[in-house]
Chain A
Amino acid sequence: MTTDAIATTAGADGGLVPAVLEVDQLTVTFKIRTRPFRPKQQVTAVNQATFSIARGETLSLVGESGSGKSSTGRGILRLVPLAGGSVRLSGVDVSQLSTAELRKQRRHMQMIFQDPYSSLDPSAQVRDSIGEPLKVHEHLGGQQLTARVAELLDRVGLPAHYMSRYPYEFSGGQRQRVAIARAIALQPRLVICDEAVSALDVSTQNQVINLLEKLQDEEGLSYLFIAHDLGVVRHISDRVAVMYLGRIVEVGPAERVFESPAHPYTVALLSASPVPNPVIQRTRKRIILAGDLPDPSDPPSGCPFTTRCPEVMEICTQVMPPAVEVAGGGHVLCHLYDHVPPPVTPVAIRPTEQPVMHLDAVSPAET
């Protein structure tokens, strides 16, 4: 985990851009009762997650349910208590702030949830839902507030007169636009999108994604995008982090992760995700992982993926693999790459509609 540049991130032009968000060794634990009448057990939902997001950048977190994606997002906003690690937002360590100080910082980081129907107050007009953060943080009211809400509605593609409507009067896509308007009301630096488009039909989903990208261009927003649809993730992300059982097992530029995934779990995840093309879907090689995610309250020793990994070796069950740099960018936590010097030549970009990945891209024999 120490190899990732924490204070800065490589920008698109190769230069260094100051990070908006720096997450270092973030750990989130829960105490849950897994069986009735037994003592509660500690579950590590997020285990030493380390990453950073630059201004105007989108980092996606992918992984199965229970992998700790949402807990990472909630940990960053301190919606759940942190068990360890630090979160710095534009240099301010929010993990150490008092509740009152945190409240002031919260305006810089906002969250959009999967289901706006449950995140918007059903008895409040849209004007009040969008206006609430402006009242609290900027003490706006009356004409001024109405004007700002109208402007925000316009920016998310809704007519201003919708402000007197209630959430039930909107379609799912429109409701998500309202949630976005509320999230951007205070011009945050970071917006965490937790499965923000997952519940929408595909054409509506695309409209919302286009809106998120437009707002990012206009405001230089940084997104932490939590999603399970890999097609969407590939489209929207600059970089991708893959989580498994609370650990970030691989992180890197989206192109590199999708074209030459390094971790066996990433390889399996990509190969399991169906492609909307019947010919490719019939001919591509698929890795069907056996079994389920292990019980998070009783994780396997060593690497968390050992119980399902097709490449498992003896060392994997004993030692947690260290972070190793991957050619083409990012790093991977896997013993397959221990002591293997990264190839000198850049990773070849494979035919793009061929999501079947092989590990040979980083093996010295191939290069």
Chain B
Amino acid sequence: MSSAAQPDLNATVGDRAAPAATGVVALQVDGLVVEFATDRGWARVVDGVSYAVASGETLAIVGESGSGKSVSNLATMGLLARSARVPAGTALLEGTDLLELSQRQLEDVRGDRIAMIFQEPMTSLNPAFRVGDQIAEVVRKHRHASRRDAWRRAVEVLDLVGIPRAADRARAYPHEFSGGMRQRVMIAMALACEPLVIIADEPTTALDVTIQAQVLDLLRATRDELGMALLFITHDLGVVADVADRVMVMYAGQAVETGTVDEIFFHPMHPYTEGLLRSMPQVGTQGRTLASIPGQPPAPWSMPGGCRFAPRCPYAIDACRAAPVPLVELTPGHQVRCVRAHELTLRGAA
């Protein structure tokens, strides 16, 4: 306990070298652009986002609503609405560009090599079918297993995710499960074919904290056991601190900072990251005004010409507004999109 109260930050940062360098890259997204058709023409909601996630690693994508964190992952899974298009970018999974695949080819990949867990499991599960059958269907489709083998696998994964009496509960319908248990069913379904990559989009946001702790533990344990890559999309910095090895911070459709979780929390280099960290209610702020980032994120059709965060940034100077700012690697594994990154000393988590 005493060591926790006074953490030796340098030692910890050194202990956890960028895991991307150690694991095999499972999913690599490069230069992804997503646009939506609006009354004002094509609105660019994801603008040149690149990231890679390695086997056995958790990459958290953080950002406020509208930052493009969910849309970029829906794009790689081929799950965007018809009103959207992906004019540029690649998403390589085992040497295949997911963005080049037809819907039919994608169906073979989804649920098999890459699986997704959403925020609200009740809308992802079919209320009219037993959960065991829904999981078995995935196995039958991808593994061409017999009914009996597929059912056996369904019970096996339900047991793996900690559903008590899995053989009985596989015969239950989604409404017979609580919210936390339903999310376990979704995780079981995602694990059924032992995918290379799991994309979890706010998987615990609708859950109570005690259930959230159970689900985060389960995701961590299964990732370690099966060596999957875990892409975790969330707005909750507490959850990020809990699950992530590396973090990508998104703002207004762009990555503004990427680094190890310790670098992002203790040595943020982008003013937006600092603003997010400072906005977390900290112990000892009672009676004081909470820090907040003034203003609103820009709309996709009225993006500032220079740095997109400049209108809200306390450190902005004329150079920030002059031209778009590139993402630059300042220290190994730590990239930041800020003109003044080299001269600013920003405050991290307390």
Contact = CB atoms under 8 A, between A and B. Distances in A.
Interface of A: 64-65, 171, 173, 201-207, 209-210, 213, 228, 230-232, 234-236, 254-255, 258, 268-269, 271-284, 286, 288-289, 292-293, 351-356
A210 B283 contact: no
Interface in B71-93: none
Interface in B306-325: none
A50 B217 CA distance: 36
Contact of B291 (A206, A236, A293): A206
Contacts of A204: 292
6 closest Cβ pairs, A-B complex:
A274-B238, A206-B292, A64-B208, A203-B293, A272-B213, A206-B290
SS of B interface (majority)? helix
A280 B9 CA distance: 11
A158 B3 CA distance: 47
A130 to B, nearest CB: 22
Interface in B1-33: 1, 3-5, 7, 9, 12
SS of A interface (majority)? helix
A173 B64 CA distance: 13
Contact of A288 (B178, B217, B350): B217
B261 A278 contact: yes
B187 interface: no
A353 B350 contact: yes
B210 A352 contact: no
Given A281-B241, A292-B181, A276 B213 contact: no
Contact of B210 (A210, A282, A289): A289
16 contacts: A209-B290, A228-B209, A231-B280, A235-B286, A272-B210, A274-B236, A276-B240, A276-B277, A277-B241, A278-B241, A280-B4, A280-B7, A353-B5, A353-B283, A354-B1, A356-B1
B240 A279 contact: no
Given A203-B275, A354-B4, A273 B209 contact: yes
B331 interface: no
Given A203-B275, A206-B291, A235-B290, A274 B349 contact: no
Contacts of B262: 278-279
A231 B5 CA distance: 18
Contacts, number: 140
Contact of B5 (A202, A203, A351): A351
B339 interface: no
B304 interface: no
B340 interface: no
A221 to B, nearest CB: 15
Contacts of A206: 279, 281, 290-292
Contacts of A255: 286
Given A206-B291, A276-B280, 20 more contacts: A64-B208, A173-B296, A201-B65, A207-B292, A213-B289, A228-B209, A234-B281, A236-B286, A274-B209, A274-B238, A274-B241, A276-B237, A280-B4, A280-B7, A281-B241, A288-B210, A292-B178, A293-B208, A353-B350, A355-B283
B209 A286 contact: no
B289 A210 contact: yes
Contacts of B296: 171, 173
A292 B183 CA distance: 13
B214 interface: yes
A202 B64 contact: yes
Nearest to B237: A276
Contact of A235 (B4, B213, B285): B285
B328 interface: no
A201 B237 CA distance: 12
